[in-house]
């Protein structure tokens, strides 16, 4: 059977889904993403569909299918587990000349749903000649190659124009970058990278990609933030796709807000792709949850790049010392003795457990345990994350609950 491939513009148009099971749930997500007005007809639905109905994102009619349900529909999906009901839906669609996808019988369908890969703004649809597993395998191969850049999905530069994407690359392991972040790298013309970003990701770039090293080595070489702002704006105004690659998340002490402001001021389109922050990932990689039921109800992330009492410090250290939850300190190694002393002076118990995780999620990860009163005695080096609180004593690794 030969198919005629077609992209449907369903925004604002009614689509009927008959059935409320797992398959219907999977199909509804794509329909809503396309902007369709979705009506679900089924006596019962999955919790996910119930939630969408309760939030007003789709209409749910909790009853059996009626032929009049097809009226005014642009597309129909028959996704029940009853072949007789699906056949009834299909027959009504044929009578009204409405395309119908039957989940149980592709041969009786007037339309097929492809295996889909999304690589914004590209959408790849694969039909497997009636074999959905073959379509899914091919879709996965294409998606993987687009993600790693080996299959180009770049728009023509005259169409795409210059733009900037701020990508949080995660705490160190290159596999912890988000799918959207990896997609941005695959289409980049210019990559501006920080020292703490996973540099293995640079190996995946196309050979012609321009790389700017914005090192920011403590007490060493670095590019001033103003220079970085000027560089990314200049390259974007020249029609390039600039990816600003940072360790962790761009908005967690990453100065991403300043870069967004520079782009907005220059009229450059800018997108932010959040990243996995080391404030959560570093403790997790050492088996330390920043929150745990029955132990803490809050956690606080504080920058320690300036010591307590410094004129530029914006931290209310006495208030931090009085908090009962987990305290996570970033960029605090150099000032950790002063911070520990300030917390103890503010009333925090000197026996409070402390963990320090260096080079988190990488092959060089190390960790040390101490107390607030003894942590200053540790020989430490950045980059490292400091965790202060009772969650440090949970020791999930030893209990075998974390793998």
Residues annotated catalytic, as ranges: 194, 216
Strand 99-102 and strand 75-78: the pairing is: parallel
CB count within 10 Å of CB 189 equals 21
SS (H, E, C) 88-127: HHHHHHHHHCCEEEECCCHHHCCCCCCEEEEECCEEEEEC
Q: Is the torsion defined by CA of 119, 125, 130, 134 positive or negative?
A: negative
User: Which token pair is 292?
Assistant: 């745990």
Residue 101 near residue 85 (C-beta atoms within 8 A): no
Beta bridge partners of 368: 356
User: Which token pair is 97?
Assistant: 């000349």
Residue 34 near residue 59 (C-beta atoms within 8 A): no
CA 7/CA 29 separation, integer angstroms: 17
CA 147/CA 295 separation, integer angstroms: 40
Q: How far is CA 331 from the centre of its chain?
A: 24
CB count within 10 Å of CB 309 equals 9
Nearest CA to 20 out of 67, 57, 66, 52 is that of: 52
CA 69/CA 74 separation, integer angstroms: 12
* Sequence-ordered list of residues with C-beta below 8 angstroms from that of 380, at least 6 positions apart, any chain: 333, 336, 356, 358, 368
């Amino acid at each position: 059977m030969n198919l005629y491939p077609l992209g449907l513009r369903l925004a604002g148009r009614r689509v009927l889904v008959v059935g409320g099971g797992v398959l219907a749930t999977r199909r509804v997500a794509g329909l809503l993403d396309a902007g369709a007005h979705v009506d679900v007809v089924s006596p019962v639905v999955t919790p996910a569909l119930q939630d969408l109905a309760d939030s007003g994102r789709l209409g749910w009619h909790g009853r059996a299918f009626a032929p009049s349900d097809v009226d005014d529909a642009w597309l129909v999906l028959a996704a029940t587990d009853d072949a007789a009901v699906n056949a009834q839906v299909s027959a009504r669609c044929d009578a009204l000349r409405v395309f119908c996808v039957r989940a149980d019988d592709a041969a009786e369908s007037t339309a097929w749903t492809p295996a889909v890969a999304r690589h914004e703004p590209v959408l790849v649809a694969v039909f497997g000649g009636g074999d959905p597993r073959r379509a899914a395998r091919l879709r996965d191969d294409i998606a993987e190659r687009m993600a790693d850049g080996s299959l180009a999905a770049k728009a023509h530069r005259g169409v795409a124009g210059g733009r900037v994407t701020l990508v949080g690359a995660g705490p160190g392991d290159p596999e912890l970058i988000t799918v959207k972040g990896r997609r941005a790298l695959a289409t980049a013309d210019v990559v501006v990278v920080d020292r703490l970003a996973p540099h293995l990701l640079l190996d995946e770039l196309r050979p012609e990609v321009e790389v700017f090293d914005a090192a920011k080595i403590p007490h060493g070489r670095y590019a001033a933030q103003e220079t970085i702002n000027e560089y990314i704006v200049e390259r974007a105004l020249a029609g390039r796709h600039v990816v600003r690659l940072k360790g962790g998340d761009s908005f967690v002490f990453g100065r991403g807000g300043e870069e967004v402001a520079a782009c907005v001021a220059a009229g450059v389109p800018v997108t932010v792709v959040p990243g996995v922050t080391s404030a959560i990932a570093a403790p997790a990689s050492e088996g330390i949850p920043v929150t745990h039921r029955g132990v803490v109800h809050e956690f606080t992330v504080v920058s320690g790049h300036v010591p307590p009492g410094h004129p530029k410090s914006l931290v209310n250290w006495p208030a931090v010392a009085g908090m009962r939850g987990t305290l996570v300190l970033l960029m605090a190694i150099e000032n950790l003795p002063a911070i520990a002393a300030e917390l103890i002076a503010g009333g925090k118990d000197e026996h409070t457990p402390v963990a320090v995780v260096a080079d988190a999620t990488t092959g060089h990860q190390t960790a040390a345990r101490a107390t607030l009163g003894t942590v200053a005695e540790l020989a430490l080096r950045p980059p490292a994350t400091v965790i202060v609180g009772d969650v440090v004593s949970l020791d999930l690794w030893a209990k075998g609950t974390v793998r």
